[in-house]
Structure 1
Amino acid sequence: MDGLLSFFYPWTKAIHIMAVIAWMAGLFYLPRLFVHHVEQGKHTAGLNPIFVMMEKKLLRVIMNPSMIATWIFGLALVFTPGIVDWSMAWPWVKAGGVVGMTGFHMWLAARRKDLASGNNRLTGRQYRIMNEIPTVFMIFIVVAVVVKF
């Protein structure tokens, strides 16, 4: 198995990076949809169901599959011999960032359900602020992986 993981390492890494990019795009875009949903959806007739449909499709068709692929191919990289030195800080920082990003993903999924059911309690401004969270996680993860401290 170790030889197989090593053989496919470049492909595993490439697919992991593509999955991360797709996941991040969704993590950045969904809170922006929430901002517009909250601020425009109730004021313009017919917009609310459109926002609900867009948010649901973004989460289910793009974000969920790309998060799952990120985890699968990321774990494959972790188990590839010689890739991760767990005595260093960087893999722990990255792992913490990925777990945090996954938690944020789940929080977004819960807010999507709130918006769809009419139970939203957050403002557009609060969603704008929350939109910065994936950027913070991204900074920690990229610096940890590239600098390898």
Structure 2
Amino acid sequence: MKNRRALRIGARWWAGLALLVIAALLFFSAPSVDDEVGALLGNGVVFSQGALMRTLAVLDVAAGLWVLIRPRSYAGLTAALMAVIALWLAPRMAAPALLEVGSLALDVRFVTLPLEVSVLIAGLAVTAFWMTRNLKSRARAGQGA
């Protein structure tokens, strides 16, 4: 792509909006898997898959809004980190999380996983664009001295 600015803005919007869509899907499908085991903590404490999905949804909203409002390197890294955490927790979400869409029952795991991979790439792109922008401005400042 020749227009770097368009790619930078597109990566920012894709990472932010995809995280918000993922959060909505996770939040609305979480009640269907409240009884399923999601994660086993120490001393036999069980964290349900629904609670795990709600926690990821809240964190996805925070990261998505941050990258949309203030797209800097830390926001891009946070979006990418949220994608890595969600992909790491994916095997723990083994039960089908169904979301009723009209007469269709959609398993959100098959929608969120590809979106999380794309958020990982877009978040790293936001970070890379912001860091190269800072390097260019520092190089220009050094040339004038």
Q: TM-score, with normalisation over the residues of structure 2?
A: 0.39
Which structure is higher in helix share? 1
- Which of 1 and 2 has higher RCO (CA within 8 Å, sep 6+)? 1
Q: TM-score by structure 1 length? A: 0.38
